[in-house]
Structure 1
Amino acid sequence: MTADTLLADLTARVRGMAHSRAPACPCGAAGTLADRPDGTVVRHADTVAKAHAPDTDPVALTRRLAAAAHLPDVFLPPLGPGPAGLHGRLVTFWPYGVPVDPDDPDAAPWEAAAVLLARLHRTPASAPLPVMRGPAKAARAVTRLRALGSAPAAAPVLRAWAALPPWARAEGPMPDRATLCHGDLHLGQLVRLPGGSWRLIDVDDLGVGVPAWDLARPAAWYACGLLPAEEWGRFLDSYRAAGGPAVPDGADPWAVLDVPARALTVQTAARAIVRAAADGRPPDEVEQSVIDACARMAAIPPRSAYTSTD
């Protein structure tokens, strides 16, 4: 089965689902929203289909879909009772939502993202869920970096990684196994509904774990100088105001954010080095700023309430 075959058959599936939802659905062309080894996403009218990564666990995905379906004020709700099969891949269907415009950073919905996370983190898990996959994704990025061999920029990144506690490297149990977490929060994981409200998407990493991980990417961007202090402040203040439990009012946020932010910085740097090597070029200015942050981190021990699994 080729990638073109998967894409063509997934497109046929999404077209069929769109017409089953709205028999008068306009027969425009379907569009490909993403086509990567870890997920192929296509859209027809107001319906989206996603073929998940080949190694996706069907039981875990089914549980994650059920959790999302029970949180319609947080997640875009899935269509249908569970994943379908297609060429050995699991396929899910979703209503279409308008993504964040990457060319309009001033309109980034930081407050909305923070409120959605606070709602998620305050919600008790209604059924058994897997551990959220954030640390596992970071570990996978580091594995790919090591596979490059002697990349000059890799040394400080690997030193920063080695300094992290085992749980943050997916080598030990998660300190928190009760809080619902998204697992891979960034602005690309938000979509706007027709009424103007925002919802989270992508349940592949949803599970129980350390809620600070969901705040760690914007925290890392801020620490690396890639996110202005004003935007970081808006995000953090909105999360606290909405009752988010990861960084309660009056507490030092970096006591819980430091380790997850370091892990996300390492993940970003590892991916940047691998990407630059694949392109046959040195890291660009933004990529180098994240690599430099790893060098600074490697010289200072992590400071966190989550430095052990006790």
Structure 2
Amino acid sequence: MTILPALTAHIRAAGTPAGTPTAPATLADRPDATVLRLGDTVVKAHAPGTDPARLTRRLETAAALPGVLLPPLTTTAEELHDRLITSWPYGTPVDPHTPAAPWAAVATLLALLHRSTPHPALPPMRGPAKAARAVTRLRAAVYAHPHPAARPVLHAWAALPAWARAEAPMPGPALLCHGDLHLGQLVRHPAPDGPWRLIDVDDLGLGVPAWDLARPAAWYACGLLPPDDWTRFLTAYQEGNGPAVPATGDPWPALDVPARALTVQTAALAITKALAADRPLDEIEQAVVDACARMPAG
């Protein structure tokens, strides 16, 4: 039995509230995560090999910060088919078609997160490790099928400092970080009209808080995020006394390395997916690769 039918049986065994569908909805089904919803409950099968002690610390952190992170239904992960399973309340995600994305809301939550006291045994946040994994996948893909876009991406990766490539400890002071911030990590709870909360604790940990600002910063630098949205995001973070960037003045000395790392990660994943689908890069993917080509050589 694969994890999807096993997880389906697991969530059904918890009981189906009256008036809800009897069949759970699949919210995600990837090698690193399978997520199902039944009524107001969501269950997640975490990636194979997830460390149970570290996941527990992350769950405890979410439970302790209900004003910032969506709290789990329990801080104890269950084991199912050699996968760790967690349970959550359902939250309404960001509508991708909304004309005004909630950039200010996510920035305010980030500032609160970064100023929160972390769990004493919390592991490092996994942002650099995820970027390194994307580059490893790219190298494997282009070894079998060379692609001209890979060269500037790998050159840009090599020019990053060792900590941003997960080859050295992150510089301090280490603060509480989300580790994989994007608008897909934001939900309203209680659904559908409650306050915004951050979700997905898999990469939560101690590290460089600027990493959490790096994806919107990279999109802005690549021309993929409108200036007004970037200004709204950055201003809300600064007004929330977020420690990742100065309250006034130029934020880019703090954001430069993380933003370059996230640009490389995005480009690496784009090339890998394009090769797997045997298709050319689309316009957005090419823009990210072009941004890597413009990065300093070191």
Normalised by the length of structure 2, the TM-score is 0.95
State whether structure 2 residue 100 is matched by structure 1 residue 107.
yes
In the TM superposition, residue 144 of structure 1 has moved relative to its aligned partner by 0.6
Listed as ranges, the matches of 1:162-241 within 5 Å are 162-176=158-172, 178-193=174-189, 194=191, 195-241=193-239
In the TM superposition, residue 25 of structure 1 has moved relative to its aligned partner by 5.7
Partner of 2:45: 51
Partner of 2:10: 13
Give the whole-Å Cα distance in 2 for the aligned partners of 1:282 and 1:124. 46
Given candidates 73, 76, 82, the residue that maps to 1:82 is: 76
Give the whole-Å Cα distance in 1 for the aligned partners of 2:96 and 2:198. 16
Contact map agreement 1:182 1:205 (CA 8 A) in 2: yes
Deviation by residue 1:183-238 (Cα, 9 ceiling, x = unmatched): 00000000012343100000000000000000000000000000000000000000
Taking structure 1 as reference, are residues 27 and 132 closer, same or farther at Cα in structure 2, changes over 3 Å only? same
Between the two proteins, the alignment pairs up a number of residues equal to 293
Give the whole-Å Cα distance in 2 for the aligned partners of 1:183 and 1:252. 23
Given candidates 127, 132, 138, the residue that maps to 2:120 is: 127
Contact map agreement 1:177 1:208 (CA 8 A) in 2: no
Deviation by residue 1:56-75 (Cα, 9 ceiling, x = unmatched): 11111010000111000011
Given candidates 240, 263, 266, the residue that maps to 1:265 is: 263
Taking structure 1 as reference, are residues 140 and 33 closer, same or farther at Cα in structure 2, changes over 3 Å only? same
Runs of 4+ residues deviating >6 angstroms: none
Taking structure 1 as reference, are residues 224 and 18 closer, same or farther at Cα in structure 2, changes over 3 Å only? farther
Partner of 2:109: 116
Give the whole-Å Cα distance in 2 for the aligned partners of 1:142 and 1:298. 18
State whether structure 2 residue 137 is matched by structure 1 residue 140.
no
Give the whole-Å Cα distance in 2 for the aligned partners of 1:157 and 1:71. 37
Partner of 1:256: 254
Stretches of structure 2 that go unaligned for 5 or more consecutive residues are: none
Partner of 1:305: none
Q: Bigger CA drift: 144-153 or 55-64? A: 144-153
Give the whole-Å Cα distance in 2 for the aligned partners of 1:50 and 1:279. 27
| Aligned sequence identity (%) | 67
In the TM superposition, residue 8 of structure 1 has moved relative to its aligned partner by 1.4
Deviation by residue 1:21-58 (Cα, 9 ceiling, x = unmatched): x5x46343210000000000000000000000002111
Give the whole-Å Cα distance in 2 for the aligned partners of 1:276 and 1:8. 29
Partner of 1:307: none
State whether structure 2 residue 47 is matched by structure 1 residue 65.
no
